[in-house]
Amino acid sequence: MSEFEPQTRRSLRKSKRPRNLLIVGLVLVLLLGVGYVNRSAIRGLYDSISGQEYSGNGSGNVSFKVSEGDSGAIVAKHLAAEGITKSSSSTYRHILAANPTFFPGTYSLPKQISSDRAIELLTNPANQITNRITIPEGFRLVDIFKRLASKTSYTVTDFETAANDLSQFDLPKTAPSLEGYLFPATYSFDPSLTPTDILKTMVHRMKEELSNKGIARKDWQSTLTLASIVQREARLHDDFYRVARVFKNRLAINMPLQSCATASYGVGTFSIIVTNKILNNDNPYNTYKYAGLPKGPIAAPGSLALDAVLHPADGSWLYFVTWNLKTGETIFSDTYAQHLAGVKKWDNWMAENPGWNG
């Protein structure tokens, strides 16, 4: 054996130690990395073992509201207070780890679930509870209130009461009511909204439409009034622009609009065919008796009717008659004699379709 052999073995043993330490260090770093990546799961396991979290799928369902401006701490506090999660402090730790974005609304959540499950459900729009309501163009206030009442927990009277206080809606002083100021569209209303909140949302949507079309506030009332009449009188897309032109031409020469839709509205009916009694009724909406625009809108005009009033078709028509009530086909005339021929065509159609009421 060489005299140098013991020394060589000692040197080899020394050289292995740093290498082993390096391997151990790398393993520790790897374990720490895995632990960091899975820290949420590890924290959830710890909280569950320590009794700070519910396990399982929960039971029942409750409505949970996230209000505008609620912080993670507030959400955690409310979740625990309503028995959805077990501990507000544990839930808050999970919220901090997940860093979710909570959107205001009412959500359907089961009771006694884990914080992670609650966070998952609150950040999924599918769990938000909404009252989805479609308001068609041409609906009157009475129709809108009935539709809203049928889709919410409120009554028609609740909406009528809310609508009576016009000071809440910042309308022009000449507006006699909310008629015409509730934009027809499909809405998703949170169940927590009050009747006033719902109506304000619809008024705000109409104001947005007026603003987007460049209509000045001073012209809101007159534009909505004429657009509401066009909405009730026209049926086909292109006819909206022709009907608007007829009424514009009449207004320009101070000729009464003679709209059956306004006369019907003035007596509280909703009939396509009006009687002489209706036409002779003395009210501010009877455009057979009074020239110019009526007192206010008679229905909720949509975007098309508003656009038609702003950009009417070119033409010299002063009359129109919808001769086919099924298809909406309409005859436009320059003279009264031409108009009478159109009315005759309508009379013949009515004779062929007795009792037709749309």
Q: Do 122 and 137 belong to one domain?
A: no
Q: Domain boundary at 129, 157, 178, which?
A: 129
Q: Which long-range contacts (CB under 8 A, 24 or more apart) does 351-357 make?
A: 353/325, 353/326, 356/325, 356/326, 357/272
Q: Do 251 and 145 belong to one domain?
A: yes
- Output the pLDDT for position 317: 98
Q: Do 211 and 186 belong to one domain?
A: yes
DSSP string over 238-288: HHHHHHHHHHHHHHHTT-----HHHHHHHTT---SS--HHHHT--STT-TT
Residue 96 maps to which CATH number? 3.30.1490.480
Is the Cβ–Cβ distance between 212 and 194 less than 8 Å? no
Domain presence at residue 180: yes
Q: Do 124 and 147 belong to one domain?
A: no
Q: Do 288 and 141 belong to one domain?
A: yes
Helix (H) or strand (E) holding 334: none
- Output the pLDDT for position 4: 47
Is the Cβ–Cβ distance between 142 and 298 less than 8 Å? no
Residue 103's identity, in one-letter code, is F
Total residues found in the chain within this entry: 358
Q: Do 152 and 299 belong to one domain?
A: yes
Domain presence at residue 290: yes
Domain presence at residue 243: yes
Domain presence at residue 165: yes
Q: Do 169 and 298 belong to one domain?
A: yes
Q: Do 285 and 240 belong to one domain?
A: yes
Q: Do 313 and 173 belong to one domain?
A: yes
Q: Do 76 and 159 belong to one domain?
A: no
Ordered per-residue pLDDT tens for the chain, 358 residues: 444 455 555 555 555 555 555 555 554 545 455 455 455 555 555 555 556 899 888 888 898 999 889 999 999 999 999 999 999 999 999 999 999 999 888 998 999 999 999 999 999 988 888 889 999 999 999 999 999 999 999 999 999 999 999 999 999 999 999 999 999 999 999 999 999 999 999 999 999 999 999 999 999 999 999 999 999 999 999 999 999 999 999 999 999 999 999 999 999 988 777 899 999 999 999 999 999 999 999 999 999 999 999 999 999 999 999 999 999 999 999 999 999 999 999 999 999 998 776 5
Structural domain harbouring 75: 60-129
Domain presence at residue 192: yes
- Output the pLDDT for position 177: 97
Is the Cβ–Cβ distance between 263 and 279 less than 8 Å? yes
- Output the pLDDT for position 112: 93
Phi, psi for 132 (deg, rounded to 5): -85, 120
Is the Cβ–Cβ distance between 316 and 255 less than 8 Å? no
Count of structural domains within the chain: 2
pTM exceeds 0.85, yes or no: no
- Output the pLDDT for position 20: 59
Q: Do 124 and 135 belong to one domain?
A: no
Q: Do 249 and 310 belong to one domain?
A: yes
Domain presence at residue 47: no
- Output the pLDDT for position 1: 44
